[in-house]
């Protein structure tokens, strides 16, 4: 189960060459970044009494998860075409949360590392 900000941060820190960042004076916003290119692969924040995670995705998967779960919605404060928000209210399976974070991580890797994933 992933319910808290710390749960989300700890999971995201398991990825290779990443770090936790607080880019705004509002400490509600945590982002998880790649060391090499500084791209964000997860935004973690509290909203409406729950922790939310914004993740990047491909069109087909974004739509799939939005249709599968009421608690996966178009990205809050981000491009609705490229990002989803996962609301950690206990209704989204841990496996699907992890899959969405993994895809976001992979999509934001430095380009040369993305190529290695495809080769």
**Predicted pLDDT at 80:** 86
**Predicted pLDDT at 111:** 77
**Predicted pLDDT at 117:** 58
Q: Round to the nearest angstrom and report the end-to-end CA distance of the chain.
A: 33
Alpha carbon separation from 50 to 86, 110, 116 (Å, rounded): 10, 31, 36
- Pairwise CA distance, residues 29 & 69, whole Å: 23
pTM comes to 0.92
Q: In the chain, which stretches have pLDDT less than 50?
A: none
Segment (H or E) for 30: strand 30-34
- Pairwise CA distance, residues 69 & 49, whole Å: 18
């Amino acid at each position: 189960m992933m319910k808290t900000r710390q749960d989300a941060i700890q999971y995201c820190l398991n990825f290779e060459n990443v770090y936790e960042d607080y880019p705004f004076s509002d400490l509600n916003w945590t982002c998880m970044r790649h060391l090499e290119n500084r791209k964000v692969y997860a935004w973690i924040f509290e909203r409406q009494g729950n922790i939310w995670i914004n993740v990047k995705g491909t069109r087909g998967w974004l739509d799939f998860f939005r249709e599968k779960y009421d608690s996966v919605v178009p990205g809050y404060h981000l491009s609705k075409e490229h990002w989803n928000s996962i609301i950690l209210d206990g209704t989204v399976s841990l496996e699907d949360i992890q899959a969405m974070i993994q895809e976001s991580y992979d999509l934001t890797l430095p380009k040369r590392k993305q190529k290695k994933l495809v080769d």
